[in-house]
């Protein structure tokens, strides 16, 4: 690659990773990889005579600060094992009794806050550092940011030991979280999905002004490492010590023996909806510190504490309307507009009703009272209608449309799905297709969010996808659009330009064929090697592949025979890279599933490595899978793989397996 071209690419890469790291709080590469990119850019810039005016290497302060200094905790910050009911708690208690050798244990019960753990060190009574949990052993020094939380005492006035680590949870109150998201939305930024994410994004923010502008809050609940001069015998004493020194401590901390624990947990659970912050369970701790020490810990969790996790949050609310929206494949999906409720920290105002069968199953009507549920980050759903609350004078039947709400084409019923068959002539489908086409795992064009896409289509600048590549014609008009600065339009143009040479699998994914997602796109790329041979493929050619079934094969043939995306025009604008297996193809054709998380690699990085070495990253376990790569906190996949006798690669063996 010519130097200037590489410089341009590197700059875009670095800007992208800066944004992922600083604005989205979701880095995709390690600090070491980032440093390598940055170093390479600096070297090349030294060789080039071209201007560096727009380069990230010229930003004020030199290399953008990417991280915080690391710090090792005096005592590790542990995680907790879980129980979900009385029976499981009983087992926990029995284990405690066995280890302690005493029968009647005194416990504390308190809420489990859904925020970000922090360890704050005081030396001779003065706050000297604040460190994030990190991997439990080593965290990041975020002292400056933590100092912005006014509720945290800067000094321990009473009975301060020489050194002490105090542990707590940093979080946002729900109303503050909503305000922050409102401000972000007004500034066209990306909203946080939960108060927890917002707290994480704020405490690790490198811009102190951003931290100052957001009212973080904290509860203290734990003792880390400390010097011997701290004379505290129990958690109860410790809570007293905290209160005496004005550390914020939660009101709902109870002390009792095991017979009352379950009642206290229920008490906390029943106050959950009234709390101004998110909790996701209760934490139960052995009160006596001597007993805690006797119990010690196993793997990464103490034997003296346990989290009693609450079920997913559910709330009743009313249905204000039932409407229909058109998706990119023409499916017209019913959804309920509900009186907004906050579930697991997110404000829910629209809930999908999926299809006509689901509408019938729920027997839902406008003005009904419904139970809405959301488990963690999972999409909200309507569990049931509360028929006892139905007022037959007030409820209104669903008004099922006969014509497409976007283009007025007559709708057809295909199984349980209502469909608009107008393809990309329907503006809503065109918009949906565009969103998919430019998305990160497709053509990866940045700066084309919902809002600008909508403008481009409404103004007629983009009637088919090939028009994206001719957008520079409208440079002046776009720069004059309200809410889109010159710089953002320039960035958009650059991003469009750099998408002109997509990998084959990305491009196949971008086409948005029904049933062809990321995994199938990768398999098609491997098998057909070039776009032209895929395009020419007959039904029986496709059926030669062992991971494609009849339905998918039919969809693909049908797509190429009837496509409405303006494929030829698009192909005239871009240059698709053929699929090439690298020199090391020792994973040739092996189907590999990844589960859990890994130290040092993101899952996307692992997938990329597998692909480069000829393997096929796959989404779910079946008898066709050759290997399961197992990270930390795996879900149900391990059990299924073991049942099917699939080879499991553990984290220790990954390097060897992938030949890294």
User: Which residues partner with 628 through β-bridges?
Assistant: 593, 648
Q: Per CB under 6 A, which region of 52-60, 109-117, 195-203, 236-244 contacts ligand IVH?
A: 109-117
- For residues 51 to 90, the per-residue mask of contacts with ligand IVH, x marking binding by CB under 6 A and - elsewhere, is --------------------------xxxx----------
Rounded to 5°, angle at Cα 447 from 61 and 518? 115
Is 113 near ligand IVH (CB under 6 A)?
Answer: yes
Is 134 near ligand IVH (CB under 6 A)?
Answer: no
Among 283, 420, 462, 641, binds ligand IVH (CB under 6 A): 283
Is 92 near ligand IVH (CB under 6 A)?
Answer: no
Is 110 near ligand IVH (CB under 6 A)?
Answer: yes
Residue 112 among the catalytic residues: yes
Is 615 near ligand IVH (CB under 6 A)?
Answer: no
Residue 266 CB neighbour total at 10 angstroms: 12
Please compute Rg for the chain using Cα positions: 28
Choose, from 8, 52, 90, 112, the residue flagged as catalytic. Answer: 112
Nearer Cβ to ligand IVH (15/110): 110
Among 109, 307, 424, 553, binds ligand IVH (CB under 6 A): 307
- Strand 70-72 vs strand 297-298: parallel, antiparallel, or unpaired? unpaired
| Nearest-angstrom CA–CA distance, 579 and 156 | 63
Number of residues that make up the chain: 660
Closest CA to 89 of 294, 272, 286, 375: 286
Contacts of 582 (CB under 8 A, 6+ apart): 612, 613, 614
Q: Per CB under 6 A, which region of 33-41, 107-115, 456-464, 506-514 contacts ligand IVH?
A: 107-115
- For residues 168 to 187, the per-residue mask of contacts with ligand IVH, x marking binding by CB under 6 A and - elsewhere, is -x------------------
Measuring CA to CA, how many Å separate 332 from each of 348, 352, 401? 21, 11, 9
Specify the 3-state DSSP secondary structure of 22.
Answer: helix
Minimum distance, C-beta of residue 117 to ligand IVH, in the bound complex (Å): 3
Closest CA to 332 of 405, 418, 436, 414: 418
Minimum distance, C-beta of residue 105 to ligand IVH, in the bound complex (Å): 17
Among 117, 195, 380, 432, binds ligand IVH (CB under 6 A): 117
Q: Per CB under 6 A, which region of 50-58, 110-118, 206-214, 402-410 contacts ligand IVH?
A: 110-118
User: Which residues partner with 129 through β-bridges?
Assistant: 121
Longest Cα pair distance anywhere in the chain, in angstroms? 80
Is 112 near ligand IVH (CB under 6 A)?
Answer: yes
Closest CA to 516 of 481, 557, 475: 557
Which residue number is nearest to ligand IVH in terms of Cβ? 117
Among 302, 327, 401, 596, binds ligand IVH (CB under 6 A): 302
Residue 43 CB neighbour total at 10 angstroms: 13
Nearer Cβ to ligand IVH (133/419): 133
Contact between residue 489 and residue 475 where contact means Cβ atoms under 8 Å apart: yes
Is 305 near ligand IVH (CB under 6 A)?
Answer: yes
- For residues 152 to 171, the per-residue mask of contacts with ligand IVH, x marking binding by CB under 6 A and - elsewhere, is -----------------x--
Measuring CA to CA, how many Å separate 443 from each of 130, 165, 256, 430? 41, 48, 58, 16
Q: Which of residues 209-268 bind ligand IVH (CB under 6 A)?
A: 221-222
- For residues 619 to 648, the per-residue mask of contacts with ligand IVH, x marking binding by CB under 6 A and - elsewhere, is ------------------------------
Minimum distance, C-beta of residue 24 to ligand IVH, in the bound complex (Å): 22
CA dihedral angle for residue 434, residue 439, residue 443, residue 447, rounded to 10 degrees = 80
Q: Per CB under 6 A, which region of 105-113, 232-240, 422-430, 493-501 contacts ligand IVH?
A: 105-113
Contacts of 238 (CB under 8 A, 6+ apart): 223, 232, 289
Nearer Cβ to ligand IVH (11/291): 291
The string over 115-135, giving b where at least 16 C-beta atoms fall within 10 Å of a residue's C-beta and e elsewhere, is bbbbbbbbeebebebbbbbbe
Nearer Cβ to ligand IVH (204/428): 204
Is 308 near ligand IVH (CB under 6 A)?
Answer: no
Residue 28 CB neighbour total at 10 angstroms: 15
Q: Per CB under 6 A, which region of 89-97, 184-192, 261-269, 299-307 contacts ligand IVH?
A: 299-307
Minimum distance, C-beta of residue 115 to ligand IVH, in the bound complex (Å): 7
Minimum distance, C-beta of residue 113 to ligand IVH, in the bound complex (Å): 4
Closest CA to 640 of 658, 655, 656, 625: 625
- Please count the residues of this chain forming the interface with ligand IVH, following the rule CB under 6 A: 16
Minimum distance, C-beta of residue 134 to ligand IVH, in the bound complex (Å): 11
DSSP assignment string, 358-386: HHHHHT--BT-EEEEEE-TTSPPEEEEE-
Nearer Cβ to ligand IVH (286/593): 286
Tokens of 158: 């009473």
Residue 329 CB neighbour total at 10 angstroms: 17
DSSP assignment string, 585-603: -TTTT-EEEEESB-SS--H
Is 505 near ligand IVH (CB under 6 A)?
Answer: no
Minimum distance, C-beta of residue 43 to ligand IVH, in the bound complex (Å): 42
- Note the residues at the interface with ligand IVH (CB under 6 A): 77-80, 110, 112-113, 117, 133, 169, 221-222, 283, 302, 305, 307
Residues noted as catalytic:
112
């Amino acid at each position: 690659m010519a130097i200037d071209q590489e410089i341009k690419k590197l700059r875009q890469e670095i800007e992208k990773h800066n944004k992922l790291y600083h604005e989205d709080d979701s880095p995709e590469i390690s600090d070491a990889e980032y440093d390598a990119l940055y170093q390479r850019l600096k070297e090349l810039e030294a060789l080039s005579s071209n201007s560096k005016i727009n380069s990230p290497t010229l930003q004020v302060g030199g290399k953008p600060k990417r991280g915080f200094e690391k710090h090792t905790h005096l005592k590790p910050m542990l995680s907790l094992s879980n129980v979900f009911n009385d029976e499981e708690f009983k087992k926990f208690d029995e284990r405690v009794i066995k280890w302690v050798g005493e029968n009647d244990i005194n416990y504390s019960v308190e809420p489990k806050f859904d925020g970000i753990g922090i360890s704050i060190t005081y030396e001779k009574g003065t706050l000297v550092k604040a460190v994030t949990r990190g991997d439990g052993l080593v965290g990041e020094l975020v002292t400056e940011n933590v100092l912005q939380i006014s509720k945290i005492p800067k000094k321990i006035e009473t009975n301060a030991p020489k050194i002490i680590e105090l542990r707590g949870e940093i979080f946002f109150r729900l109303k503050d979280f909503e305000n922050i998201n409102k401000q972000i939305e007004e500034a066209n930024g990306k909203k946080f999905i939960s108060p927890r994410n917002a707290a994480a994004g704020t405490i690790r923010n490198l811009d102190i002004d951003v931290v100052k502008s957001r009212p973080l809050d904290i509860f203290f609940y734990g003792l880390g490492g400390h010097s011997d001069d701290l004379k505290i015998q129990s958690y109860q004493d410790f809570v007293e010590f905290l209160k005496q020194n004005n550390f914020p401590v939660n009101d709902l901390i109870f002390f009792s023996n095991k017979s009352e624990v379950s009642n206290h947990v229920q008490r906390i659970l029943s106050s959950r909806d009234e709390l101004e912050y998110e909790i996701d369970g209760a934490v139960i701790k052995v009160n006596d510190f001597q007993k805690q020490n006797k119990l010690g810990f196993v793997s990464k969790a103490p034997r003296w504490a346990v989290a009693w996790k609450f079920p997913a949050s559910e709330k009743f609310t009313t249905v204000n309307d039932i409407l229909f929206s058109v998706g990119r494949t023409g499916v017209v999906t019913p959804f309920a507009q509900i009186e907004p409720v906050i579930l697991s920290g997110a404000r829910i105002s629209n809930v999908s009703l999926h299809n006509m069968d689901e509408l019938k199953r729920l027997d839902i009507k406008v003005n009904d009272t419904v139970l809405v549920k959301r488990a963690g980050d999972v999409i909200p759903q309507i569990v049931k209608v509360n028929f006892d609350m139905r007022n037959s004078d007030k409820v209104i039947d669903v008004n099922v449309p006969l014509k497409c709400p976007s283009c007025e084409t007559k709708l057809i019923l295909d199984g349980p799905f209502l469909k608009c068959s107008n393809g990309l002539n329907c503006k809503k489908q065109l918009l949906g297709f565009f969103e998919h086409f430019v998305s990160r795992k497709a053509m990866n064009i940045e700066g084309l969010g919902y809002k600008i896409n909508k403008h481009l289509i409404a103004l007629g600048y983009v009637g088919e996808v090939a028009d994206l590549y001719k957008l520079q014609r409208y440079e002046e008009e776009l720069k004059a659009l309200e809410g889109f600065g010159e710089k953002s339009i320039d960035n958009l143009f650059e991003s469009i330009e750099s998408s002109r040479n997509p990998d084959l699998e990305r491009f196949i994914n971008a086409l948005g064929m029904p049933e062809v997602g990321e995994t199938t796109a990768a398999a098609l790329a491997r098998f057909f090697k070039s776009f032209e041979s895929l395009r020419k493929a007959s039904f029986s050619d496709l059926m030669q592949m062992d991971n494609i079934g009849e339905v998918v094969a039919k969809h693909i043939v049908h797509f190429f025979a009837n496509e409405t995306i303006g494929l030829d025009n698009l192909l005239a604008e871009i240059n698709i890279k053929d699929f090439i297996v690298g020199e090391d193809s020792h994973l040739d054709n092996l189907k590999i599933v990844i589960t859990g998380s890994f130290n040092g690699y993101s899952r996307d990085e692992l997938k990329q490595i597998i692909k480069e070495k000829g393997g096929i990253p796959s989404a779910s376990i079946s008898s066709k899978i050759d290997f399961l790569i197992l990270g930390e906190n795996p879900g149900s996949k391990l059990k299924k793989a073991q049942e099917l006798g699939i080879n499991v690669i553990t984290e220790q063996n990954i390097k060897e397996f992938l030949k890294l």
